[in-house]
Amino acid sequence: MLAVVATDPDMAEASRAPPRWRRWAVPSGIPSFPSSIAMRLVAVVLATGVLGLGLIGGLTALRLQQQLRHQAGALGELSEDQLAHRLDGEAQLARARIEVLGAETASRLRQIAQRADVAKAVASNNDVTIRELLSIVASTSGFERLIAFDETGRVIGANTPLDLLALNRALESTALSVNLNAILKDNSRSHPRGEEGINEFKLRELSALGLPQRHTIAHTAIEPVFDDFGDLIGALAAIRPLGRTERTLENFTSLANAGVVIITGDNEIVSSAGPEGVRFSGARTRLTGLQRSDDGNYVARCVDYEATLKVCTFASASLVTTTRDQMFQIGASHTRSLMWQFLASAALALGALVVALLAAVRHLTKGLSALAKTAQEIAGGNLDVQFRATGIGEVRGLGLAFERMLTHLRASTQRIRQLAFYDTVSRLPNREKMRVDAPALIGAEEGAALFFLDLDGFKSINDTFGHKAGDELLRMVAERLSNLLMTKGAAGKCLLARVGGDEFVAIIAGVKTVEAASLSAREMIETLQVSFKLQSNHATIGVSIGIAICPTHGTTYDDLLIRADLAMYVAKSSGRNTYAFFTPDLAEVARARHALETDLALAIRNEELVVHYQPKVSCANGRILGVEALARWHHPKEGDIPPQRFIKIAEEIGLIMEIDRFVLRRALAEIGGLIRAGSNLVLAVNVAATEIEDPLFIRDIITTVREADFPPPNLEIEITESVAMRNPDVVRERISLLRQLGIRFAMDDFGAGYSNLSTMARLPFDAVKLDRTLVAGVAGDREKQTILRLALGLADELGFETVVEGVETAEDLRFAAENGATMAQGYIFSPPLPLEEFAVLLQPTLLAVELVPRRDGAERKTMIR
């Protein structure tokens, strides 16, 4: 496997992918799961449910409270009614018991009246006899009084010794005597008729009867007494006063759990059973509701008994509230349990609703949460995240769109990475990628060597065969170097990148000795020395390699790169296909160059550059027909710096256009002055490659020429052959437009590079300047003579004026002139001169060339006459 790690995009990407732990971390600012839409919806539903439940519960409780209050009221009434009803029944029962007492009295009396001894005693009319008998009978029958009457209704005896006269008087006109008379009046033994009832005795009557005063109420019965013949002989009356306590009532009380009172119309208590001292002053019968006792502790219901009496049964008043409370408790607990049941059902229903909603929300938002997670991953830089659209409806639509977007995003990110980190021509990693990958390789302990390769002659290939061929060549170079490195290192041990136009950088780990590095460099040179097949042509190039070793020459990529670059310049200057190692003095050279760059920039800004002028002389008559403006820089410390050097620096640091503009302005002004003074000169200026390719070139030239008020036909622009060939279409367009204004164009340094004659023929130049290398020493070089002759003939054939450059000897001049050169330029006439000195050359003298042989090769003035 190739050790050129930088060519493996996946590996590089993997190294930049976020670490695993970061992919899983929840990024800040991104909502965590509990605040997801699903959870929020559920929270809303839950809150609504709980609120609803609370509301329903509250309202229900309130309503129940009201109900219970009503119920309590109703129950109060109900329990009162119930108690009243019960007491009513009991009062009737109590009355029945009393009535039974009365009936018993009557029945016993009847039996007594029918007894023969009783009849005999009555018939005897002897009160003693009567008393003796009745006292016995009364005590056995439980009668308080047993009174015997004769057939006229007169008292004839009693069970106790009484004043019978007084008794007769007392009983006169009483209810008892009325009833007695009725019985005595009309009665027969076959149908005996007695009378029973309850009587209220007045005090007089009571005292006559010998009864205590409290015995005001008594059961009375009257029965007729017949003799053996069936004749009515008298009557018996039994009196049984109701006692304060009556056994039957007490029995009743203990059975019925209620007190009983028998009261008179004046609310006097006749008899009572149960709690004592309970008084009912306002007792009524046949009224609704309960009667309260005077102390309020008891409630009672009364029924009428006979005409004047009432039988009342009573119970503790607390029974009403107790019953009511008991009933209320039963009702309330029932109601409460109902309410709880209701609330439990509501809660259950709510729970079911929430579960259903949860499921629905989960189902609906399932796709959304996956979407959000994926988006977070992507936001975190992880484009490799897996995503499949899920969910339904719009969520699914969104997911599908997201899926497509992710695919596009991956593709464009891949493309961007490719563009950002890979060179489209050679398909190698570029400068940035190398900067990212190199430190890992350089940092290894085994050391490494960095090779800075600059192709020799690549520019010419580009100019000669065109850019496509140039690109093809770069691809092949990249391939050869990759293959070489593949055979050299183990996986991950080498890096290769294209870092500039024809510049490559290779790093080989483990190479740390000069010998090992030299071997690698030689292999690189050898592999690139083999000619390249470009379309139908074969081309050869060379390579200059600068080498810096880690750790000897530096430990960082930047240091090693700079140092290898410096070393590369050394290699380049010592000829093609060489390599050189970085040495510390190169750093000094670099520093000096940097200082020069700074000084040049300053000089340009301060217009410290000057323009010298070199004449172009007619080969026909020796007249100065034109002049070439050439930039000169006198460095305050280093003296004159040759244009070859500072022009190159200016080109490299992007200041050449400013120099050209300055020279143009200055030359237009100075030569313009000479033209206005009468010299008919054609001024030639040089333009750099970058300038002619600048879209604003035409506009700038026109403006500058107009501002200088310079006649356009007197201006000639020199474009070097290599520049013209590099981009012929652009050059042709620029030339054509400016030529319409009358400006002339010349191809400079023709013959110095790989000329493409057909392209040259199509370019609308006015003149061709034949390079010094073709001209110098031509007189004594047959090969050069042939070439120069052919070149001059060809240019003439194509209609170009010709200028031979760098003519230093009369022989060379003569040869050129004889072979049709239009003009000549060179030290033979004059080196480039300051304006004043150049102006001297224009003095109207007869031109005669006196050749001064150049002994030391230095520029010096030539005499022109």
User: Which residues here bind Mg ion, judged by CB under 5 A?
Assistant: 686, 718, 748-749, 805
Which listed option, ligand C2E, Mg ion, none, makes contact with residue 150 (CB within 5 to 8 Å by class)? none
Strands 767-770 and 801-804: parallel
Site for ligand C2E in 754-773 (CB under 6 A): 772
- The secondary structure of residue 241, as a DSSP letter, is E
Cα-based distances in Å from 374 to 18, 24, 294, 411, 741:
14, 11, 90, 17, 64
Q: Quick check: 806 binds ligand C2E (CB under 6 A)? A: yes
Q: Quick check: 731 binds ligand C2E (CB under 6 A)? A: no
C-alpha dihedral, 530 to 532 to 533 to 537, nearest 10°: -100
Within 10 Å of residue 249's Cβ, how many Cβ atoms? 26
Site for ligand C2E in 635-654 (CB under 6 A): 642-644, 647
Site for ligand C2E in 611-630 (CB under 6 A): 614, 630
Q: Give the helix ranges, DSSP H, for 613-655.
A: 643-652
Cis geometry, peptide bond prior to residue 551 (ω within 30 degrees of 0):
yes
Which listed option, ligand C2E, Mg ion, none, makes contact with residue 822 (CB within 5 to 8 Å by class)? none
Residue 847: both structure tokens together: 């031109």
Q: Quick check: 808 binds ligand C2E (CB under 6 A)? A: yes
**Which SS3 state, helix, strand or coil, does residue 69 take?**
helix
Instruction: State the Cα angle at 851 between 845 and 855, rounded to 5°.
Output: 140
Phi, psi of 856 (to 5 degrees): -105, 0
- In terms of CB distance, is 366 or 665 closer to Mg ion? 665
- In terms of CB distance, is 132 or 597 closer to ligand C2E? 597
- In terms of CB distance, is 328 or 633 closer to ligand C2E? 633
- Residues 535/469, Cβ–Cβ less than 8 Å: yes
| Least distance to ligand C2E, CB of residue 862, Å | 9
- In terms of CB distance, is 7 or 614 closer to Mg ion? 614
Stretch in the footprint of ligand C2E (CB under 6 A) among 76-84, 118-126, 224-232, 656-664: 656-664
- In terms of CB distance, is 249 or 650 closer to ligand C2E? 650
Length of the chain: 865
Site string for ligand C2E, 667-706 (x = CB under 6 A): -------------------xxx------------------
Which listed option, ligand C2E, Mg ion, none, makes contact with residue 391 (CB within 5 to 8 Å by class)? none
Could you tell me the end-to-end alpha-carbon distance of the chain, in angstroms, rounded to an integer?
75
Report d(CA 758, CA 768) in Å as an integer. Answer: 14
**Which SS3 state, helix, strand or coil, does residue 146 take?**
strand
Query: Which among 147, 107, 144 is positioned nearest to 127, based on CA atoms?
Result: 147
- Residues 444/395, Cβ–Cβ less than 8 Å: no
- In terms of CB distance, is 90 or 748 closer to ligand C2E? 748
Report d(CA 319, CA 195) in Å as an integer. Answer: 42
Report d(CA 632, CA 616) in Å as an integer. Answer: 18
Which listed option, ligand C2E, Mg ion, none, makes contact with residue 241 (CB within 5 to 8 Å by class)? none
Strands 715-720 and 682-687: parallel
- In terms of CB distance, is 119 or 630 closer to Mg ion? 630
Q: Quick check: 721 binds ligand C2E (CB under 6 A)? A: no
- In terms of CB distance, is 571 or 667 closer to ligand C2E? 667
| Least distance to ligand C2E, CB of residue 815, Å | 15
Which listed option, ligand C2E, Mg ion, none, makes contact with residue 826 (CB within 5 to 8 Å by class)? ligand C2E
Site string for ligand C2E, 770-799 (x = CB under 6 A): --x---------------------------
Give the bridge partners for 200, in sequence order.
217
Q: Quick check: 660 binds ligand C2E (CB under 6 A)? A: yes
Q: Quick check: 749 binds ligand C2E (CB under 6 A)? A: yes
What is the Cα 835 distance to its own chain's centre?
76
- In terms of CB distance, is 179 or 755 closer to ligand C2E? 755
Q: Quick check: 367 binds ligand C2E (CB under 6 A)? A: no
| Least distance to ligand C2E, CB of residue 596, Å | 16
Which listed option, Mg ion, ligand C2E, none, makes contact with residue 272 (CB within 5 to 8 Å by class)? none
Query: Which among 141, 126, 134 is positioned nearest to 236, based on CA atoms?
Result: 134
Report d(CA 247, CA 252) in Å as an integer. Answer: 8
Stretch in the footprint of ligand C2E (CB under 6 A) among 128-136, 223-231, 392-400, 658-666: 658-666
Burial of 23 from C-beta contacts in 10 A (0-12 / 13-18 / 19+): middle
Q: Quick check: 809 binds ligand C2E (CB under 6 A)? A: no
| Least distance to ligand C2E, CB of residue 860, Å | 10
Give 172's contacts (C-beta < 8 A, 6+ positions apart).
none
Site string for ligand C2E, 143-182 (x = CB under 6 A): ----------------------------------------
Which listed option, Mg ion, ligand C2E, none, makes contact with residue 830 (CB within 5 to 8 Å by class)? none
| Least distance to ligand C2E, CB of residue 749, Å | 5
Residue 456: both structure tokens together: 């020799």
Stretch in the footprint of ligand C2E (CB under 6 A) among 308-316, 485-493, 566-574, 819-827: 819-827
| Least distance to ligand C2E, CB of residue 574, Å | 22
Report d(CA 678, CA 555) in Å as an integer. Answer: 66
Q: Quick check: 443 binds ligand C2E (CB under 6 A)? A: no
Give 546's contacts (C-beta < 8 A, 6+ positions apart).
451, 452, 454, 563, 564, 565, 566, 567, 568, 569, 570, 571, 579, 580, 581, 582
With CB under 6 A as the contact rule, the residue among 748, 788, 801, 812 that binds ligand C2E is 748
Give 173's contacts (C-beta < 8 A, 6+ positions apart).
none
- In terms of CB distance, is 125 or 460 closer to Mg ion? 460
- Residues 524/484, Cβ–Cβ less than 8 Å: yes
Give the bridge partners for 849, in sequence order.
864
Which listed option, Mg ion, ligand C2E, none, makes contact with residue 806 (CB within 5 to 8 Å by class)? ligand C2E
Which listed option, ligand C2E, Mg ion, none, makes contact with residue 453 (CB within 5 to 8 Å by class)? none
With CB under 6 A as the contact rule, the residue among 75, 499, 631, 817 that binds ligand C2E is 631
- In terms of CB distance, is 554 or 672 closer to ligand C2E? 672
Site for ligand C2E, rule CB under 6 A: 614, 630-631, 642-644, 647, 659-660, 663, 686-688, 718, 748-749, 772, 805-808, 825-827, 832
